[in-house]
Structure 1
Amino acid sequence: MEGRGGLSDEEWERLEPFLPVSNGRCGRWRDHRQVIDGILYRERTGVPWRDLPECYGPWKTVYERHRKWSGDGTWERLFQQVLAVADSEGEIDWAAAVDSSAVRAHQHAAGARRDPPPPLDSPKGGQRAPNRGKKPRTFRPQGGGGASGEALGRSRGGFTTKIHLCADGRCRPLSIVITAGQCADCTQFKPVMDKIRVPRIGPGRPRTRPDSVSADKAYSNRATRRELRRRKIRHCIPEKTDHRNHRIRRGSAGGRPPGFDQELYRKRNTVERAINKLKQFRAVATRYDKRAYIYLGTVTVAAISIWIRR
């Protein structure tokens, strides 16, 4: 099944050293390679879990492994370790770019079961004041953004999720954040930059700062530029027309125009090409997962696959 997204021998050799080992308390794990090939097959084709071919083993085993590793951060750790090896080999181009892309959510992605509200006398819930005739507040689980708390929201495309991404100069993801589809790009710039964390092979702190960052006008605001200056990162973000007109009307009080490097800005298309690579995986291009953390794991697996096939 290598032609449908399975790992080649060379790719498996790159990934195998980082995979977790069974501790023996929960029985023997099914072969990692067979299960990961099943996960990649589903990512590539977008088929329901129950329709996985029998050569990958029981579909329930493949799904539960993906769900577990999405929830406990295993996929995220694998992603960072793959980046660490690539950085040690000089494979990462640190001329980064930031952008986002909306993903249409399938109808099967809606309807995730909500957790019940905590009891009034529980330590988590605490004692609540009486409503005094007011309408009771609806409990909504936290995390993921959006009304349902699962990174699902309304936008021009309908029921959508948005992938916020930072990519290196060779069109490969460095960090991934997902939110509801109507979430503004600029509000997620800092979370995207905070998730850039490439460990060192050997002593030293993880690398968290690119050499430069390019972004489009959606990120043109004072908070974004202030954050980049604080991190001492060279950046190239075009100024919005209304911001420029307002600055000119204020005269000398408006300050100097932000710097703009046209040659550096031409490289911003790398993040758009990275998004295109991610969306070659049908389970990423259309969201089928109900839970936000599982869909984030799905996108992370696609990013790992891109890196080990560099």
Structure 2
Amino acid sequence: MGRGDLSDAEWARLKPHLPRNVGRGGRWKSHRKVINGILFRQRTGVPWRDLPPRFGKWKTVYDRHRRWSADGTWDRLLRAVQADADAEGRIDWTMVGVDSTVVRVHQHAAGARKHTPRLQGKRTHPERHQPDEALGRSRGGLTTKIHLASEGGRRPLALLLPPRQWGDGPQMTDVLDRIRVPRPGGGHPRTRPECLSADKAYSSRRNRRYLRRRRIRHVIPERRDQRAHRRNRGSTGGRPTGFNRDQYARRNEVERTVNALKGNRAVATRFDKRAYVFQGTITLAAIRLWLRP
């Protein structure tokens, strides 16, 4: 086992949920070696062609990562390991944090082809292609924004790559709607935390109504302009929003989750041209966090 490879304990958690051999030629052989190759590239950020020979052919490693990113295999694995953690009582539902982070885009990740005959093929999954590939332009150049929800144990519950540089506030409901932890015994998946923490960027009437409708307590500070506007309206402005400073101190948990994800060089800097492939890279980083005890 090399540095950064799956340990025996992590492999034992992940192996039962991996796809089985299907089709001709046994194309799903050597799952562990291939996944270790994907993890090596994710941790170091090296080009796919520069993978060490111990992981096999680089094309095999890349193709499996791209395919599993396109067909939702990484997403299903993330939900499976989350379900195992919930059954073991390792998910802290008392406080879930929502935040976003900006990722610098490498120059090699720009310029993805659009509307070419090759992209219309079935194996390329054209339905997963975004028109803008989740790229936005800022003063520093091209960037990608990642929105996520994290539980109290500093592990991601949901991830979202919106188009371009959409604001944080409007994305809160979409991120929370992506929290779906299956129950081993069947039934509806678990989707509702007890309390939510977020910064001032998520303070809006729309978000607070959404949280009240779902009966989720929240700790979101009110922006100064919103507070002044509410006071100017007098009795029609509504009651002051509740805010618990001690609970808000736990907002650092989601920020530490972001730091753990961006500890992988292929997450901190986007090298993937396609947004769905980069989504798979982030999802695999989240899976690795859930596999650790």
Q: What letter matches 1:274 in structure 2?
A: T
Residue 48 of structure 2 is aligned to residue 19 of structure 1: no
Shift of 1:26: 4.9
User: Would you say the 8 A contact 1:97–1:270 is kept in 2?
Assistant: yes
Relative to structure 2, which stretch is displaced further, 222-231 or 281-290? Answer: 222-231
User: Would you say the 8 A contact 2:181–2:190 is kept in 1?
Assistant: yes
2:241 is aligned to: 258
2:288 is aligned to: 305
Q: What letter matches 2:16 in structure 1?
A: P
Please show how residues 191-270 of structure 1 align to structure 2 within 5 Å: 191-270=174-253
User: Would you say the 8 A contact 2:128–2:276 is kept in 1?
Assistant: no
Please list every run of 5 or more consecutive structure 2 residues that lacks an aligned counterpart in the other structure.
118-125
Shift of 1:156: 4.0
1:34 is aligned to: 33
User: Would you say the 8 A contact 1:144–1:180 is kept in 2?
Assistant: no
Q: What letter matches 2:111 in structure 1?
A: G
Q: Deviations over 1:194-250 (max 9, x none)?
A: 110000011321001111100000000011111111111011100000000111111
**Once superposed, which parts of structure 1, at least 4 consecutive aligned residues long, lie more than 3 Å away?**
141-145
Please show how residues 92-171 of structure 1 align to structure 2 within 5 Å: 92-94=91-93, 95-116=95-116, 148-171=131-154
Q: Give distance in 2, aligned partners of 1:116 and 1:29.
A: 29
User: Would you say the 8 A contact 1:42–1:49 is kept in 2?
Assistant: yes
Q: Give distance in 2, aligned partners of 1:78 and 1:21.
A: 13
SS for the counterpart of 1:2 is coil
**Bigger share in helix:** 2
Alignment: residue pair count: 284
Please list every run of 5 or more consecutive structure 1 residues that lacks an aligned counterpart in the other structure.
118-140
Q: Deviations over 1:1-37 (max 9, x none)?
A: 531x210111100100000001243544330000000
Q: What letter matches 1:276 in structure 2?
A: N
Q: Deviations over 1:60-102 (max 9, x none)?
A: 0000000000000000000000000000000000110000000
2:70 is aligned to: 71
Q: Give distance in 2, aligned partners of 1:267 and 1:304.
A: 23
2:7 is aligned to: 8
Structure 1 pair 163–114 and aligned structure 2 pair: CA distance change class (3 A)? same
User: Would you say the 8 A contact 1:144–1:151 is kept in 2?
Assistant: no
Q: Give distance in 1, aligned partners of 2:278 and 2:222.
A: 34
Q: Give distance in 2, aligned partners of 1:113 and 1:186.
A: 31
TM-score (norm 1): 0.88
Residue 173 of structure 2 is aligned to residue 190 of structure 1: yes
TM-score (norm 2): 0.93
Shift of 1:142: 8.2
User: Would you say the 8 A contact 2:21–2:29 is kept in 1?
Assistant: no
